[in-house]
Chain A
Amino acid sequence: MSLKELKLAPIKVEFFGIPRQRAGVAQLEIPCESSLSLASVLSQLESRFPDLAAECFRDGMLQEGYIASVDGRKFVASADLEVRSGQSLLIMSSDAGG
């Protein structure tokens, strides 16, 4: 993939568990030229998936009980988290009780 193509690769948002139930989709792509903050991604999701926002977001961020991860490595909750073009943002319950 060329550098230009990489920069234009969308962010893939993946939903799991209750976020998936509320969004009604398992994943989607968000256009991204370079990077987006977590807050920006959530803002776009809020307008597309009001049920998701009602259950899982509060004041523009993930509400307690939900968490995000970039590419499945670390878990994060900061609004400033940068998600780069081509990366995946996973949104799930922070409760992994089994």
Chain B
Amino acid sequence: MASKPALCGYHGRYLHVDLSKSVATFVPIPESALRSYLGGSGLGTYLLLKHGGATSDPLSAASPLVFAFSPLVGSPLTTSAKFAVVTKSPLTGRINDSLASSGFAIRGKAIGADAIVITGKAAAKSILVIDNGEMRLEPAEAEWGLSCRETESSLKERLPEGYQFAVIGRAGEEQIPFATVSHDGRHAGRGGSGAVLGAKQVKAIAVRGDAVCDWGDAKGLLDYAKQLSKKSFGPATAKYRELGTAANLLVFNRLKTLPTRNFQQGSIEGAEAYSPEMMASSHEKTRASCAACTIGCEHLYSLSSKDGSSQSGEVKVRIEYENLFALGSLCGVTDPDVVLRASLLCDELGMDTISAGGTIAFAMECVERGLLDEPWLKFGDGDAVTRAINSIVGREGVGSLLALGSRKMAAELGGESIDFAAQVKGLEIPGYEPRGMQAMAVGFAVGTRGADHNRSGAYEVDFSPTGNRLAVDADAIPQILETEDKAALMDSLILCKFLRGVFADFFSDSAEMLTLTTGWDMTATELRAAAQRIVNLRKYFNILAGWQPAEDTLPERFFTESPADAPEARLSREQLQNVVDAYNCERGWTSEGWLPDQIVVEIVDSLE
């Protein structure tokens, strides 16, 4: 096996696991590639391309799946215990770089690799066990069919101590195209990477190792980490510590940007009932945090209310804004107990809440319009939400349609249904009403994953004095680009986006962090270039995978209707297209969004 080169922050190699041959090999990563693509999303996309991921069927044996770590993993920097799961999405057919957190990142990197690339297919249902670079496949019969939580519990009991696990639930086993990869209750959620793992007959990956990296400046890094931790307790993170992302619910409801009833409305009556402020008084609540995190953004609520009026049990459910939106207002529901039950169900099954809720809400509107004969599937019916989620995994009845995701479901139903399937490139739109947050609309349209509020932070523009959320134009483009580049850098370093408010100048601060970890003389300029390079790389992947300019838009509904309660929220196709064209040019691409030859040559050279 390849020995480790002398690097700081990195091992300088990845572990290639070939499931078909049951072989694992360390493969060197050129230092130039590490410096160009850093880690996480950037490194993962690079490795996926090197293994032919852009042109393979995502659910085929040949399709690669990458777990990518980063130079910051294992460091004392707060929020650094993160990993990327990078695949070609079975839902969109485009790049899917999703992130998750905590111990799996630290233990995964400790196997002695900066990434794990998995190709092939196991001969039987398996647990992939990796121990310091040595792999074995153990039978997964005992775990197959278990929930994500039960799977980790089972593996903790039967494997020796010291492993961390990334698992799939029944959604991944059934290759539902929006199945997640889960670790310790957190999910690499969007785009269906769980289905890719399920197609490889891998129920879980267990990692353990004792390899460590040197740091460029260990004392300097520790001093910096202490300062960063101190800042992480300050006002910039108060929202996440005290209320979590769920704090968005009432703000968005007031602004009429809370997508409701499949984006027919921008607000829902009764939103207060399931706000975090109200739920904290009606349900037991605890906070948790990922490994190596000082923010503690996770807010878990008991499944039963304090008055014991609903189901009993000590189960605690992680609630984020996206759960409240997708399984709540989007489906016309404001009952907190329904949202908690539905969220838990998605967590246990290993299913993306946004795509699940988005597809169910789409189906509800199809029923309303007489396009689907399932009278029980009604907006506002909490039992319908949970019944629909359960039907997806078994592909029972309408579940066989829901399991396709909203875009393919619309293709099956035909007619005008595609006009109100709220997705971009097949990825269901998250809880930011595009007509009322028009910079975010641009971010959704051009996003390489599809409609995505994590790879683009363009809502920052909508929420700023320099933006106009109801009238986006080309003036907003530099800021929109900036949020995308920052996201690309954060997702490759990898650091949690909830930390972004503590940095005065994120590119300069990142250069300092990277210099301390790697010993390289990094600059803000170099990192700006790296961020743009990573965005270009993801675009290159999509072009190889068949991307066409017509994908960079929104469904028809968003141009022909305003939300019923927000008539001022109007977006025209021409308006959006003008801004998208200008965005492409600002990126150095053609106005249609193709990469110029010079950029393609640079990318191809980097992949040699």
Residues of A within 8 A of B (CB): 14, 16-18, 20-21, 55-56, 63, 65, 67, 69, 72-78, 90, 92-98
- Are A16 and B463 closer than 8 Å at their CB atoms? no
Residues of B within 8 A of A (CB): 235-236, 238-240, 242-243, 245, 247-248, 250-252, 254-256, 277, 320-322, 325, 430-432, 453, 457, 459-460, 462-465, 467-470, 497-498, 500-501, 568
Top 9 closest pairs, chain A to chain B, by CB? A98-B321, A17-B247, A16-B251, A98-B245, A96-B459, A72-B255, A77-B465, A93-B239, A98-B248
Picked from B247, B467, B498, the residue with its CB within 8 Å of the CB of A75 is: B467
22 CB-based A-B contacts, threshold 8 Å: A17-B243, A21-B243, A55-B235, A56-B235, A67-B464, A74-B465, A75-B465, A77-B465, A78-B465, A90-B251, A90-B254, A93-B239, A93-B247, A95-B239, A96-B252, A96-B432, A97-B240, A97-B457, A97-B497, A97-B500, A98-B320, A98-B325
- Are A65 and B236 closer than 8 Å at their CB atoms? yes
Nearest A-chain residue to B247, judged by Cβ = A17
Q: Which residues of A contact B463 (CB under 8 A)?
A: 67, 75, 94-96
Known: A20-B277, A72-B256, A78-B465. A65 touches B251 (CB 8 A): no
Nearest B-chain residue to A16, judged by Cβ = B251
- Are A16 and B250 closer than 8 Å at their CB atoms? yes
Known: A65-B501, A96-B459. A18 touches B464 (CB 8 A): no
Picked from A21, A67, A90, the residue with its CB within 8 Å of the CB of B242 is: A21
- Are B239 and A17 closer than 8 Å at their CB atoms? yes
Q: Return A20 CB to nearest CB of chain B, in Å.
A: 7
Nearest A-chain residue to B460, judged by Cβ = A96
Cα distance A98–B432 when bound, in Å? 9
Nearest A-chain residue to B241, judged by Cβ = A18
Q: Which residues of A contact B256 (CB under 8 A)?
A: 72
Q: Which residues of A contact B277 (CB under 8 A)?
A: 20-21
Q: Which residues of B contact A63 (CB under 8 A)?
A: 235
Tell me if B's interface is mostly helix, strand, loop or mixed: helix
Cα distance A76–B464 when bound, in Å? 7
- Are B251 and A96 closer than 8 Å at their CB atoms? yes
Q: Which residues of A contact B238 (CB under 8 A)?
A: 18, 55, 65, 93
- Are B501 and A95 closer than 8 Å at their CB atoms? yes
Q: Which residues of B contact A75 (CB under 8 A)?
A: 462-465, 467, 469
- Are A18 and B243 closer than 8 Å at their CB atoms? yes
Q: Which residues of A contact B431 (CB under 8 A)?
A: 98
Cα distance A16–B251 when bound, in Å? 6
Q: Which residues of A contact B250 (CB under 8 A)?
A: 16-17
Q: Return A86 CB to nearest CB of chain B, in Å.
A: 17
Nearest B-chain residue to A56, judged by Cβ = B235
7 extra interchain contacts, Cβ-Cβ under 8 A, other than A67-B463, A90-B255? A18-B247, A67-B464, A90-B254, A93-B247, A93-B251, A96-B248, A98-B430
- Are A73 and B465 closer than 8 Å at their CB atoms? no
Q: Which residues of A contact B235 (CB under 8 A)?
A: 55-56, 63, 65
**Most central of A14, A74, A98 by chain B CB within 10 Å:** A98
Picked from B252, B254, B464, the residue with its CB within 8 Å of the CB of A94 is: B464
- Are A92 and B320 closer than 8 Å at their CB atoms? no
Cα distance A75–B462 when bound, in Å? 8
Cα distance A98–B259 when bound, in Å? 14
Q: Return A59 CB to nearest CB of chain B, in Å.
A: 15
Cα distance A70–B288 when bound, in Å? 36
Q: Return B447 CB to nearest CB of chain A, in Å.
A: 15
Known: A65-B501, A74-B469, A93-B247. A98 touches B254 (CB 8 A): no
Q: Which residues of A contact B247 (CB under 8 A)?
A: 16-18, 93
Nearest A-chain residue to B252, judged by Cβ = A96
Nearest A-chain residue to B321, judged by Cβ = A98
Cα distance A94–B235 when bound, in Å? 12
- Are A14 and B248 closer than 8 Å at their CB atoms? no
- Are B254 and A16 closer than 8 Å at their CB atoms? yes
**Most central of A20, A75, A93, A95 by chain B CB within 10 Å:** A95
Q: Return A65 CB to nearest CB of chain B, in Å.
A: 5
- Are A18 and B322 closer than 8 Å at their CB atoms? no
Q: Which residues of B contact A21 (CB under 8 A)?
A: 242-243, 277
Q: Which residues of B contact A77 (CB under 8 A)?
A: 465
Nearest A-chain residue to B255, judged by Cβ = A72
Q: Return A11 CB to nearest CB of chain B, in Å.
A: 16
Q: Return B254 CB to nearest CB of chain A, in Å.
A: 6
Cα distance A74–B463 when bound, in Å? 8
Nearest A-chain residue to B498, judged by Cβ = A97
Nearest A-chain residue to B243, judged by Cβ = A17
Q: Which residues of B contact A17 (CB under 8 A)?
A: 239, 243, 247, 250-251
**Most central of B243, B255, B464, B470 by chain A CB within 10 Å:** B255
Cα distance A69–B498 when bound, in Å? 23
Nearest B-chain residue to A77, judged by Cβ = B465
Known: A17-B239, A18-B238, A18-B239. A72 touches B321 (CB 8 A): no
Q: Which residues of A contact B245 (CB under 8 A)?
A: 97-98
Q: Return A54 CB to nearest CB of chain B, in Å.
A: 10
Q: Which residues of A contact B462 (CB under 8 A)?
A: 75, 96
- Are B497 and A74 closer than 8 Å at their CB atoms? no
Nearest B-chain residue to A78, judged by Cβ = B465
Q: Which residues of A contact B239 (CB under 8 A)?
A: 17-18, 93, 95
Picked from A18, A67, A72, A93, the residue with its CB within 8 Å of the CB of B254 is: A72
Q: Which residues of A contact B467 (CB under 8 A)?
A: 75
Q: Return B411 CB to nearest CB of chain A, in Å.
A: 29
Picked from B320, B457, B468, the residue with its CB within 8 Å of the CB of A74 is: B468
